């Protein structure tokens, strides 16, 4: 009974430790697969310049006509796909479930980019904030992307807090690659949205998420400006692998669970060996009692009995 309790408690403890690791790892793998598919699609679109140019032209025209659309914090105000006429037009620009791909190597971010900031979009990748420019570049454009952080099902923008000034972010959209260098990092209140507004003559990419974890009272905002691709290191154009789904903190629960399993296994083995040694052969044991012994104990018992019989036979005086 005691051994069963120890085993059950050990298994439950390991499950509690490993559940977040497995859940987030699986979520990262699934999202990474979508991002990898998007990377392959971008390669195909890039070799079809007519299609690429048509999509980009439509997006630039949209960006030139979005003035006046209010910019709202998506974590305070929700926009649905059944919303305004402007929103329906927005969904038809760069059409499809995924419009592009965002890569921030220093933060281990490699996510598909979707239209809008509905819960479904920002829980499965990065969402583009309606009311800001589409991420196709251009002066006077500030493309704002966001995703959840602190989720129990995927890493998403968890790594945004590790970004530093000077880091590089990449965007792939409609077969086009753009590079941005981080210029500033701010923590603001949800109502302070000035950083999301376009700046004359500047091509800006803004990334933001809720902070701190669990409280979400503020927003962590990373502002990056467009640079030439030749000024940035080559980006990973193939998409993430399963290895990229791992995070450093996942190692600790795995190690703790493994050590706990080894300790319990050694304890159970030692306890069994001790009980085997404490069991001494007894000629008065009944067949029922012998049947309850382990195979090792029975072997020791019969071996001991045979030795005693030989000893008595040898010591018996001859007539």
Q: Which two tokens stand for residue 175?
A: 């077969």
Note the pTM of the prediction, 2 decimals: 0.78
The β-bridge partners of 206 are 144, 223
Closest CA to 275 of 293, 289, 299: 293
Closest CA to 145 of 191, 192, 189, 101: 101
Helix (H) or strand (E) holding 13: helix 2-46
Q: Per-residue confidence at 319, pLDDT binned at 50, 70, 90?
A: very low
Tens of pLDDT, residue by residue over 114-160, are 999 998 899 999 999 999 999 999 999 999 999 999 888 899 999 99
Which sequence spans correspond to the domains of the chain? 31-243, 285-313
Note the pLDDT of residue 45: 75
Which CATH superfamily does the domain covering 31-243 fall into?
Answer: Sortase (2.40.260.10)
Tens of pLDDT, residue by residue over 165-204, are 999 999 999 989 999 999 999 999 999 999 999 999 999 9
| Stronger pLDDT, 10 or 298, i.e. the higher one | 10
State the Cα–Cα distance between residues 239 and 298, nearest whole angstrom: 62
Is the per-residue pLDDT at 17 higher than 80?
Answer: no
Look-up: residue for tokens 């390669």? 43
* Angle between helices 295-315 and 251-278 in degrees, nearest 10: 30
The string over 113-144, giving b where at least 16 C-beta atoms fall within 10 Å of a residue's C-beta and e elsewhere, is: bbbbbbeebbbbbbbbbbbbbbbbbbeebbbb
Residues noted as catalytic: 148, 210
Looking at residues 55-72, what average pLDDT do you find?
89
Looking at residues 32-39, what average pLDDT do you find?
90
SS3 category, 142: strand
Note the pLDDT of residue 67: 78
């Amino acid at each position: 009974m005691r051994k069963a309790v120890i085993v059950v408690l050990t298994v439950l403890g390991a499950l509690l430790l490993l559940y977040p690791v497995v859940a987030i790892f699986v979520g990262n793998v699934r999202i990474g697969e979508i991002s990898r598919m998007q990377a392959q699609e971008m390669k195909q679109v890039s070799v079809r310049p007519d299609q690429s140019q048509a999509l980009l032209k439509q997006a630039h025209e949209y960006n030139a006509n979005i003035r006046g659309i209010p910019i709202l914090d998506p974590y305070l105000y929700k926009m649905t796909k059944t919303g305004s006429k402007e929103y329906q037009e927005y969904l038809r620009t760069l059409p499809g479930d995924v419009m592009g791909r965002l890569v921030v190597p220093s933060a281990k971010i490699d996510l598909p980019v979707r239209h809008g900031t509905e819960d479904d979009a920002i829980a499965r990748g990065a969402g583009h904030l309606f009311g800001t420019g589409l991420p196709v570049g251009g002066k006077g454009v500030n493309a704002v992307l966001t995703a959840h952080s602190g989720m129990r099902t995927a890493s998403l923008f968890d790594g945004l807090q590790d970004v530093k000034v000077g880091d590089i972010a990449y965007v792939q959209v409609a077969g086009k690659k753009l590079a941005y260098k981080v210029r500033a990092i701010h923590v603001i209140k949800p109502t302070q949205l000035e950083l999301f507004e376009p700046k004359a003559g500047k091509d800006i990419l803004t990334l933001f998420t809720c902070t701190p974890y669990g409280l979400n009272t503020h927003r962590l905002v990373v502002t990056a400006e467009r640079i030439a691709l030749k000024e940035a290191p080559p980006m990973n154009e193939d998409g993430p692998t399963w290895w990229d789904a791992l995070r450093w903190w996942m190692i600790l629960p795995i190690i703790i669970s493994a050590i706990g399993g080894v300790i319990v296994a050694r304890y159970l083995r030692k306890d069994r060996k001790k009980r085997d040694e404490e069991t001494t052969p007894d000629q008065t044991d009944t067949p029922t009692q012998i049947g309850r012994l382990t195979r090792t104990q029975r072997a020791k018992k019969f071996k001991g009995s045979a030795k005693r019989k030989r000893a008595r036979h040898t010591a018996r005086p001859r007539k």
